[in-house]
Structures are given as C-alpha cells and as structure tokens.
C-alpha cells in the first residue's frame, strides 16, 4: 500500500485533480444507477402492473431530495399514460433513460480525461526524478549497477507501472464510488434483498485477495529476468564484433534463450494465478445472483410480500451491475501487484544515496591558485586497496604523467581529483583546502577531462564541443576546434559544425572523435586537465594531429596525464611510475632512465 501511495504521490499536485474527479465520478455513478432504477416503470408499463399507490395527480412543489424527483417523474408518467396512452408513456421513460445514459457517458468521459492527465503527470515526474537521481549519483553507482539493468528499470518497469498502476487507477478510484451508488440504489429498491447480498460478497473478496497476495513475488522475479534480458541485448548490440570474431554467437544465444525461457515460465506461472481471479469472481457472482433469485423469488411467490416482479427484475439488473465494478477491482488488485513490484525496483534507484556528498557549508572554489596535493591518500573500491599512501604535489601550471602497468591505479588516482570517488584515508587538497570542502560544481568547473574512449553524444559537432554550455559563442567553438586540429575536417563534412556525429560519434573516425573531445576540453578552458591518453589506436598521421592537439591543450595548464605511450610524455615536469597502487619511482625522464628501474624497463619494452 505504501508503494502504491508513493507512486501516486508523483502525480502531484493532486489537489488540481482530486476534487473535480470526485465530483464527476459522483455524477457518473448517480446517472448510471438512475438509468437502471428507471427499469421499474418501464417493466411496470410493459407488464401492465402500474400501481395505483404511485399515482401523483398534482405536480409536486420543488424541494431538494429524491422524493421530489420521484414524484415529479411519476406525475409526468401518469400524465402521459392518462393523456396519450401507454406507448407515449414508454417513449417518455425511454427519453429520460436516454438523457441519463448521455449524462453518465459525459461524466465518465470527463473523469477519464482527468485521470489520464494525472497519469501523464505521474509519468513525467517519475521519469524526471529517476533521471535527476541517476545524474546526481556517484560514478561508482553506474559502474557497479549494470547499465542494462538501469535501462530496464527506466523502460520496462516504468512501462509496467503504466500498464498496471495507471490503468488500474480508474478502477481503484471510481469503482468504489460506483459500488456505493449501486448499493444506495439497491437499498432504495429492497433493504432485505440487499442485506442478504452483502452477507455473501466478502467471501469472494477474500478469495481474490489471497490470490493477489502471492502475485507480487512472481512479478518481481519476472521483472528481474526481463532486466537481465535487456542487459544481454545491450551487450550483444555493443559487442557484436567481438561476439562474431570469437564465434560466440551460439554461446550468447544460449544465454539469451535460458533467460527468455525462464521469463516465459515465470509469465505462465503469473498468468495461471492472475487469470484465476476473473473466473472465480464470475462464478461467485453468478452463485450470489442465483441465491438472490431463490430468496427473492420465494418472497414474490408468497403473495403477501411487498416485492413485485418488476421491482425484483430491476433489483437483479442493478445487482448484476455491482458485480462489474467488484470484478474490475479484483482484477486490478492482481494487476497492481506487478506495478508494485516494478515501483519497488524504481524506488531502489530513487532511494540510493550518493556516496559523494557535498557539505552543507561547502565553499566555492573561485580561482585555482596554487596546487593540487595528495597527502597519504589511500583508496579502494572494496576491501582491497587500489591506491596506497600516495604523496604528490602538483603546483599550478605543472604537468605530471602517470605511467605503470595496467591495473596499477593510474585512472583511479586521476578520478579522485574531480571527486568521482572519495579518498578512504589521507587528504586530497586544492589550494590547501580539502576538496570535500568545495562545492562539487565549483570544483569540477576548473577541470577538463579527455578520456581514452572519446565520449561523444548523438548531437551536432558544435554541441559536442560546446557541451553543457548554454548560448555558446560560435567563434569560441571554432577557435577551440582549430587548436584541436579539428576545424579542417569539420569544415569538410556535409553540414560543417552542424553535422550530426551519430550515436557515440559513429559517423567519425577514431582520430576525429578524439580531436572533437580535445576541442571540447579546449573550449572549456579548464585550469586543471586530466588526460587519459590514447593515441595507440590511431595511424601515424592521425596520431600526430591528436598529439599536437594535446600538446597545445596542455600548454600553461596543470595537467595529469595518464600515459600509455611513453614517448609522448618525456617533456612533462614529473613522471610518476605506479606499481600496484604505489608510486615506486618519480622524476624527470632522464633521471628515471639513469635510475635504471621500472621506468627504464617500461621504455625498453615499448621500444621492442
């Protein structure tokens, strides 16, 4: 129930919808019941059993209450019978029924529109909340949580909420009002019969509730399986080259089939239980009606009863209508379980706290003046330490290069500077103040990052360079592209700076992608540059262009370069040689060569 209310709370502001919806529903229910109660006079006319005690000779005085309307109706009915005959009276009653049906339809439409608007708002707010959350969470969350699983929650689970919770809202909110209205009508027709019917109704309700209860667990299992299927599809699409090259299609197809078969089984199990609800309520409904027919029939056959045939038939007609909303509710209760399970998976994301928290009294880093300093910094993603006791000072304007074997902790060290992760112990300070004391935005404002796999967004070249900046100056964008040796090839594309780069930059070559991401960093003009160098995948001409662009980018900036090709970093102010999370050697290129240690070995290995 809590989850349901929490999902609903996303349809804010409820006060815009609730009162109108409530009023329309009441009108809808009133006219729905009214058109059925009108069956009594219709039947009485047809069966020739119009009772004299109902005759109203004088047009009644207006007063608020059902009595007035009943008398007014009877007055006109008998007026028509007396003046124009029974068929005219029948036309009169049918006309009133027609108007009642029309009004019921109108109010139903109005209330449905309100509910759909509410549903659309709910979707909007829920989507925005998840997306904002994902944007505000720490990097580790995205790396740890599988991307496909997150996508599945945003797509499949949101869809599930739509098809179960939202579509059930009509039922949950309007049908109870309908049931109350029907019961008022039923009591109005016959108190005894209604009381008897009420006694048996909870029985079927209880049976349905017990079915619904078990559904949620199965629903959750099936959504998790659907999530895993999305992960496999995502991986297959991105990794198709590798799958084909390694002849792994069979392996991946088997893996996929295993999960889809499991999903099929879960869905069949779910359907078995869910589909039980309808027949049970159908069966119980007919059983109850039969009971009423026997009980009411007995009353009528006993001639002393105040109940007449026409009233009894109307009662049955009205009662059979109560069963429809009751059945709808029971069906929705089972449906809702799927939505609740989906809601819980979505709330898991919404409730995740970011590991990277900003202090309430955080200050803004307005200008970077002096240095970045690591003081005995240690860090690990889990128990195992990936960085151990790092001591490092990078004065403003200087550049350091991190070299070392794969997995030695180079990227991790660089990731600590923009606070993608927090240190485990020790202190990382900028201008003497721990970076945790600065606001995240002001801290990252000073940083530019060029990653190894240039990340481009499916947008124009222009927007990729001016990424995240509102109303950028086109001249600045062009200047950045020129510095990054990208202007020439951009000008040669069909639409120049307005050319789309394709998904992940797929319409560009590797070197072009890198130069665009370098242009992005140039455009941002950051004080601190973090460079995950990757020129190894490029041909020599492209590599020269990229390297030249990188060198221009690094000029006069404080840079941390993760170097894969040692030939490119010989000019930096300090080279740090990392090994299993520790800085084992440090100094300038020549010093390290003379030292004849790890660095020299690395150089020798690369020149082989």
Give me the residues that bind ligand ATP (CB under 6 A), please. 140, 143, 381, 386, 404, 406-412
| Nearest distance in Å: CB 322, ligand ATP | 58
Structure tokens that stand for 441 in this block: 């935005």
Residue for token digits 């003009």? 525
155 vs 158: CA distance, rounded Å: 5
Sequence-distant (≥ 6) Cβ neighbours of residue 211 within 8 angstroms: 273, 274, 276, 277, 280, 334
Q: Is the CB of 371 or the CB of 411 nearer to ligand ATP?
A: 411
Q: How many Å apart are CA 430 and CA 393, to the nearest integer?
A: 10
Q: What are phi and psi of 111, to 5 degrees?
A: -70, -35
Name every residue whose Cβ is closer than 8 Å to that of residue 505 and which is 6 or more positions away in sequence. 454, 456, 464, 512, 513, 516
Question: Nearer to ligand ATP by C-beta: 410 or 487?
Answer: 410
Q: Please identify, using beta-carbon distances, which residue of 18 and 139 lies nearer to ligand ATP.
A: 139
The minimum distance between CB 572 and ligand ATP, in angstroms, equals 17
Is the Cβ of residue 411 or residue 439 nearer to ligand ATP in the bound state?
411
For residues 391 and 498, which CB has a smaller minimum distance to ligand ATP in the complex?
A: 391
The minimum distance between CB 206 and ligand ATP, in angstroms, equals 50
Render 274-318 in DSSP notation, one character per residue.
HHHHHHHHHHHHHHHHHHHHHHHHHHHHSTT-S--HHHHHHHHHH
Closest by CA position to 127, among listed 165, 159, 164, 167: 159
| Helix pair 249-301, 309-350: axis angle to 10 deg | 150
- Does residue 423 have a cis peptide bond before it, meaning omega lies within 30 degrees of 0? no
Q: Which is nearer to ligand ATP, 486 or 534 (CB)?
A: 534
Between 39 and 530, whose beta carbon lies closer to ligand ATP?
Answer: 530
CB of 140 to ligand ATP, least distance (A): 6
Least distance from ligand ATP to the Cβ atom of residue 407, Å? 4
Q: Collapse the DSSP code of 377 into the 3-class scheme (helix H, G, I; strand E, B; otherwise coil) and give the result.
A: strand
Least distance in Å: CB of 382 to ligand ATP? 6
* Helix 167-189 with 191-238: angle, nearest 10 deg: 170
Task: Give the number of residues written for the chain.
Answer: 608
Smallest Cα–Cα separation from 194: which of 283, 311, 301, 100? Answer: 311
Nearest alpha carbon to residue 58 among 68, 44, 50: 68
Sign of CA dihedral 129, 132, 138, 142: positive
Cβ proximity to ligand ATP, 175 vs 533, nearer residue: 533
> How far, in Å, CA of 453 to CA of 450, rounded?
8
Kindly tell me which of 344 and 533 has the beta carbon lying closer to ligand ATP.
Answer: 533
DSSP-derived letter for residue 2 is: H
The distance of closest approach from Cβ of residue 11 to ligand ATP in the complex, given in angstroms and rounded to an integer, is 37
What are 575's strand-pairing partners? 401, 587
The tokens describing 242, both together, are 């590798």
In the complex, the smallest distance separating the C-beta of residue 371 from ligand ATP, rounded to whole angstroms, is 22
Q: Please state the closest distance from residue 386 (CB atom) to ligand ATP, in A.
A: 4
Least distance (Å) from ligand ATP to the CB of residue 596?
23
Task: Identify which of 121, 51, 123, 122 has the alpha carbon closest to the alpha carbon of residue 81.
Answer: 51
CA atoms within 13 A on the CB side of 240: 4
Residue 337 contacts by C-beta under 8 Å, 6 or more apart in sequence?
Answer: 164, 212, 215, 216, 219
Residue 428 CB, shortest distance to ligand ATP, in Å, is: 15
- Strands 447-450, 528-532: pairing kind: parallel
The kind and range of the H/E element at 530 are strand 528-532
Scan for tokens 């009381």, then name that residue: 195
DSSP state of 496: G
**Of 70 and 582, CB closest to ligand ATP:** 582
Which residue, 254 or 536, has its beta carbon nearer to ligand ATP?
536
Count of Cβ atoms closer than 10 Å to residue 97 Cβ: 18
- Nearer Cβ to ligand ATP, position 365 or 400? 400
State the minimum distance, in angstroms, from the CB of residue 531 to ligand ATP: 13
Minimum CB–partner distance for residue 143 and ligand ATP (Å) = 4
**Looking at beta carbons only, is 86 or 143 nearer to ligand ATP?**
143
């Amino acid at each position: 129930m809590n989850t349901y209310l929490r999902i609903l709370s996303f349809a804010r502001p409820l006060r815009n919808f609730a009162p109108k919806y409530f009023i329309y529903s009441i009108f809808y229910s009133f006219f729905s019941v009214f058109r059925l109660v009108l069956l009594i006079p219709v039947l009485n006319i047809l069966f020739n059993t119009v009772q004299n005690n109902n005759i109203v000779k004088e047009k009644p005085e207006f007063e608020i209450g059902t009595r007035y309307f009943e008398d007014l109706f009877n007055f006109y009915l008998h007026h028509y019978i007396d003046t124009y005959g029974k068929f005219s009276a029948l036309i009169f009653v049918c006309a009133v029924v027609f108007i009642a049906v029309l009004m019921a339809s109108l109010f139903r439409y109005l209330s449905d529109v309100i509910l759909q608007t509410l549903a659309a708002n709910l979707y909007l707010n829920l989507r925005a909340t998840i997306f904002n959350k994902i944007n505000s969470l720490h990097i580790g969350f995205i790396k740890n949580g599988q991307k496909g699983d997150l996508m599945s929650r945003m797509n499949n689970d949101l869809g599930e909420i739509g098809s179960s919770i939202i579509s059930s809202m009509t039922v949950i909110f309007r049908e109870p009002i309908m049931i109350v209205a029907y019961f008022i009508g039923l009591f109005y027709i016959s108190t005894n019969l209604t009381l008897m019917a009420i006694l048996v109704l909870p029985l079927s309700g209880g049976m349905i509730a017990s079915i619904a209860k078990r559904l949620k667990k199965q629903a959750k299992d099936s959504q998790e399986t659907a999530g895993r299927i999305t992960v496999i599809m995502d991986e297959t699409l991105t990794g198709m080259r590798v799958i084909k090259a390694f002849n792994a299609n069979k392996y991946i197809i088997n893996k996929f089939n295993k999960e889809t078969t499991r999903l099929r089984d879960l869905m069949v199990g779910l359907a078995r239980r869910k589909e039980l609800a309808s027949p049970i309520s159908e069966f119980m409904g007919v059983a109850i009606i039969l009971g009423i027919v026997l009980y009411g029939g007995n009353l009528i056959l006993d001639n002393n009863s105040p109940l007449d045939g026409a009233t009894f038939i109307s009662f049955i007609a009205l009662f059979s209508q109560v069963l429809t909303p009751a059945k709808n509710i029971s069906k929705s209760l089972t449906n809702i379980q799927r939505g609740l399970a989906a809601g819980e998976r979505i709330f898991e994301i919404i409730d995740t706290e970011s590991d990277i928290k900003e202090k309430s009294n955080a200050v803004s880093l307005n200008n970077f003046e002096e240095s970045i300093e690591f003081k005995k910094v240690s860090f690990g993603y889990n128990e195992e330490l990936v960085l151990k006791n790092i001591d490092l000072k990078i004065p403003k304007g200087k550049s350091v290069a991190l070299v070392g074997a794969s997995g030695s902790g180079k990227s991790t060290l660089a990731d600590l500077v923009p606070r993608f992760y927090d240190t485990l112990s020790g202190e990382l300070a900028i201008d003497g103040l721990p970076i945790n004391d600065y606001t995240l935005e002001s801290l990252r404002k000073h940083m530019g990052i060029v990653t190894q796999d240039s990340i481009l967004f499916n947008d124009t070249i222009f927007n990729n360079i001016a990424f995240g900046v509102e109303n950028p100056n086109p001249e600045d964008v062009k200047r950045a592209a020129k510095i990054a040796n990208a202007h020439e090839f951009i000008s040669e594309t069909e639409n120049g700076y307005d050319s789309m780069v394709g998904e992940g930059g797929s319409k560009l070559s590797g070197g072009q992608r890198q130069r665009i991401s370098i242009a992005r960093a140039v455009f941002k003009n950051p004080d601190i540059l973090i460079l995950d160098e990757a020129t190894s995948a490029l041909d020599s001409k492209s590599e020269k262009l990229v390297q030249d662009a990188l060198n221009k980018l690094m000029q006069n900036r404080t840079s941390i370069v993760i170097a894969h090709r040692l030939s490119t970093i010989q000019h930096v102010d300090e080279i740090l040689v990392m090994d299993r999370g520790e800085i084992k050697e440090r100094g300038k290129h020549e010093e390290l060569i003379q030292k004849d240690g790890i660095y020299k070995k690395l150089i020798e290995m690369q020149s082989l």
